[in-house]
Amino acid sequence: MTRATDTVLKGLEEIRPWVENLYKDLHTHPELGLREHRTAAKAAEALRADGYEVTEGIGGTGLIGVLRGGEGPTVLLRADMDALPVAEATGLPYASTATAQNADGTSVPVMHACGHDVHVASTLGFARLMARAPDAWHGTVVVLFQPAEEDGVGADAMVADGLVDRSPRPDVVLAQHVLPYPAGYVGIKPGSFLSAADSTKVTLYGRGAHGSMPQHAIDPVVMAAMAVVRLQTVVSRELGAATPAVLTVGSITAGTGPNIIPDRAVLQLNVRTYDEDTRADVRAAVERIVRAEAAASGATRDPEFETLAAFPPTVNDEAPTGTVAAAFTEHFGEQAHTIERQTASEDMSRIPEAFGVPFTYWGIGGTDPAAYEKATAAGRLTSDIPVNHSPHFAPVLQPTLDTGIRALTAATLAWLAAPEG
C-alpha cells in the first residue's frame, strides 16, 4: 500500500500549481446550495480531461466521475460543493465578493466559509493523480460532487434522482472535511463522529382575546413559556449523564402588542444528538412535553410540528475506519491523530446508506500552524482561530491542499493498491 501511495503521489508536485489555482478560482466564485453550476462544470471539465466517465445533473448540480482500472474493489469519494450566505472578511487577494439572490429576492453575500472549495480542489487533484498512475492500483474510483450540504438536502437530492442506479456500487464511501486544526493534521475516529441536527418549528394554538379579559382567552404566550422551561428538563432529567445532547429553543414569537392576547405562539428549536436512539428519545420527549403543556392550558387545537432541517448522525463504521486509520498512520506518521467528536453535522451518510455500504469520514486541518499554536497555548482553542462559517475562515493553501490529496490517496489505496511485487 505504501509503495502504491508513493507512486501515485509522485505526481503531486507537478499538479500542485494547478490545484492551488483551481482552489483560488473556486474560492473567488462561491455558489449557494443547489446552484453550484459553475463549480460543477469546472469539476466535470477536469474529470473529462483526466479520462473519467462523467454523469452530470444528478439531483440538480450533483455529478460523479468514474475511472475504471480493471478488476478490484470500488471506492466512492464524496466532496461537497456549496458555499454560504456570509460576507467574506478575510482580506485575501482571492477573497469572494460574490452575491446571490435569496428565495425572497433579496441579495446576499456568498463565501466559501466552510472550506468546501478545499474538498472540491483536493478531490480533483486526487482524481488527476489516480488517472496518471494506472499501474499503481486496480478497481474503480468514483468521485462524487454533492450539492447543498449546508442545507442538509443535497445528498438526499442525489439519492432521489437515482444515484444508486447511475453509479457503480461502491464497497466503501469516503469523505473528509477541513476543520480548525493545524494544516497538515489528519484525524479520524471510529463510531460517532458528527452530531445529528434536527430543527423543528412548533406552533402552539390558544384563543385570542383582550389583554384585560384573560378569562376569555387560552393564552399561548404562557403555554409557550411553560413549554420552553420544561423542555430544559429533556437533556438534564431524561438523558443519562454520559449521553451528550443539546436542546436549544432559538426562537420564540407571539403577539403584536401589550393588550392583545394572541391566538398562537411559535417556537423554533434545534436538537443535537449522536445516535439514532437518543435522537428518537429526544424527539418523543419534545412532542410529549409540548402536547402536555397545550393540554394543561386547555388548548382546543393540537400543537403542530414542522421539520425545518434534519441531519442524520455521522457514525463511522468500525472496519473501514480502522483500515483508513492504519493507512494514515503509515503515510502521515505523527500527523495522524484520533480526532475528537464534533458538534457539527453532515448529510453525507445518506449516500452510503442508499447503497447499503459502510463509510468513514475524517477531518483535515486548515489553520496556519503557527497561529494555531499561539492560539492554543492556553491549552484550548480560543476565539483567535476563525472556525468554519466565520467570515474570517481562511484555510492556508499549504499544506492544507496537499494533505487533502494525500489523505484521499492513502485512504483509497488501502482498498485499491496493486499487490507489491
Contact residues: Zn ion, CB under 5 A: 114
Indicate the residue among 116 and 406 with the shorter CB distance to Zn ion.
116
CB of 143 to Zn ion, least distance (A): 17
Strand partners, 209: 261
CB of 413 to Zn ion, least distance (A): 25
CA distances from 179 to 154, 184, 186 (A): 21, 11, 10
Indicate the residue among 114 and 325 with the shorter CB distance to Zn ion.
114
What grid cell was written down for 84? 454560504
Indicate the residue among 327 and 401 with the shorter CB distance to Zn ion.
401
Indicate the residue among 80 and 263 with the shorter CB distance to Zn ion.
80
Indicate the residue among 114 and 130 with the shorter CB distance to Zn ion.
114
Indicate the residue among 74 and 388 with the shorter CB distance to Zn ion.
388
CB of 306 to Zn ion, least distance (A): 23
CB of 419 to Zn ion, least distance (A): 37
CB of 147 to Zn ion, least distance (A): 13
Indicate the residue among 110 and 114 with the shorter CB distance to Zn ion.
114
CB of 9 to Zn ion, least distance (A): 25
**Which residue's CB comes closest to Zn ion?**
114
Indicate the residue among 114 and 227 with the shorter CB distance to Zn ion.
114
Indicate the residue among 114 and 133 with the shorter CB distance to Zn ion.
114
- Per-residue H/E/C for the chain: CHHHHHHHHCCHHHHHHHHHHHHHHHHHCCCECCCCHHHHHHHHHHHHHCCCEEEEEECCCEEEEEEEECCCCEEEEEEECCEECCCCCCCCCCCCCCEEECCCCCEEECECCCCHHHHHHHHHHHHHHHHHCHHHECEEEEEEEECCCCCCCHHHHHHHCCHHHHCCCCCEEEEEEEEEEECCCEEECCEEEECEEEEEEEEEECECEECCCHHHCECHHHHHHHHHHHHHHHHHHHCCCCCCEEEEEEEEEECCCCCEECCEEEEEEEEEECCHHHHHHHHHHHHHHHHHHHHHCCCCCCCEEEEEEEECCEEECHHHHHHHHHHHHHHHHHHEEECCCECCCCCCCHHHHHHCCCEEEEEEEEECHHHHHHHCCCCCCCCCCCCCCCCCCCCCCCCHHHHHHHHHHHHHHHHHECCCC
CB of 177 to Zn ion, least distance (A): 6
Residue with cell string 442506479: 165
CB of 314 to Zn ion, least distance (A): 12
CB of 342 to Zn ion, least distance (A): 11
CB of 226 to Zn ion, least distance (A): 34
CA distances from 240 to 69, 196, 264 (A): 50, 18, 34
Indicate the residue among 114 and 234 with the shorter CB distance to Zn ion.
114
Strand order in the sheet with 139-146: 53-58, 62-69, 139-146, 74-80, 172-182, 359-367, 186-188, 336-338
